[in-house]
Structure 1
């Protein structure tokens, strides 16, 4: 997973961001936001955070393919990539990792819903922060993120993030 600390989130380059966040930075904040959303929604915050930490681990194999790039590629499913990643791991790790990724991808639990909302909310927050830094082409990321939020708690946090600057957000909502 050390590669995720070095690999940049490539979609931001499309918006003109010169030095975007890493995949690991994104996943860390997804986990924190997910745990907060889970607390707000009555789901298990630890499980939600775990789903958030694992949600982009496949990018160690396939990279961070921007949304527009997915139009042209037939990438393996995240479940298939994870199975390959953990194929030589301890059997409990192999089974556990595959179960975590499957739950996130199918989105059929309250924790998966919170983790997926956390992923979108983190993208929205990052876009707001980049906009504050002068990057003006981030509105599509904001709009797309808001459109995909499923929980009332995530929608409320998104509205708050859109109506305050990042310093106010940090002082009020922590993650």
Structure 2
């Protein structure tokens, strides 16, 4: 028998779990000297926004790309944010398996929707999934530039990593533009 026989209670419980993302910090930034890095939820919001913009410019479905991006780090409620320096010591958790556990109690439509989004994002076979992944890397690049602008000195490896992993032409152009401007350029217009 399931813990949440009431579908509404299952959605509410899942909502509480997703709220944990607001408290999990992006841990890799601690290694760069950032004392209070952004949360996974803050990161995911800008990733979803950027994914929509990239998809629109690449003639894809902005809504789908944003939806995929919303779920791309949702598994971190169970694992925390693992920095890249952990890779040699830990096997990468399977996002699909974590998502299956997280969504097990959800009503069928909600469960299928989240699982399909995570599957599509992880497979990277659709334009929208590639835009969502590029948005993840682009967001990291923007965050690194923002941290650098307030005095964090050791962010070059994050910028280089993000640039190397961009696949769409739009994301590459946006990254190059972002590196030539101040994070406050939007304010100076």
Q: Give runs of aligned pairs for residues 80-159 of structure 1, distance below 5 A.
A: 80-159=97-176
User: For structure 2, which runs of at least 5 residues remain unmatched after alignment?
Assistant: 1-17
Structure 1 runs (4+) greater than 4 angstroms displaced: 169-172
Cα distance between partner residues in 1 of 2:84 and 2:187: 28
Equivalent of 1:3 in 17, 20, 28: 20
Cα distance between partner residues in 1 of 2:125 and 2:188: 33
**CA deviation map 1:80-117 (0-9, x unaligned):** 00000000110111111111001000100000000000
Structure 1 stretch 26-35 or stretch 67-76: which is displaced more?
67-76
Per-residue deviation at 1:167? 1.0
Instruction: Identify the structure with the greater helix proportion.
Output: 1
Cα distance between partner residues in 2 of 1:30 and 1:170: 21
Per-residue deviation at 1:171? 6.4
Number of the residue aligned with 2:95: 78
Decide which structure has the larger Cα Rg and report it: 2
Cα distance between partner residues in 1 of 2:181 and 2:33: 23
Per-residue deviation at 1:76? 2.7
Scaled by the length of structure 2, the TM-score of the pair is 0.88
Structure 1 counterpart SS, 2:82: coil
**Is contact 1:78–1:101 with CA below 8 Å preserved after alignment?**
yes
Structure 1 stretch 64-73 or stretch 19-28: which is displaced more?
64-73
Scaled by the length of structure 1, the TM-score of the pair is 0.95
Cα distance between partner residues in 2 of 1:85 and 1:131: 36
Structure 2 counterpart SS, 1:61: helix
Structure 1 counterpart SS, 2:125: coil
**CA deviation map 1:105-148 (0-9, x unaligned):** 01000000000000000000000000001001110000000000
Cα distance between partner residues in 2 of 1:83 and 1:53: 16
Equivalent of 1:60 in 77, 95, 113: 77
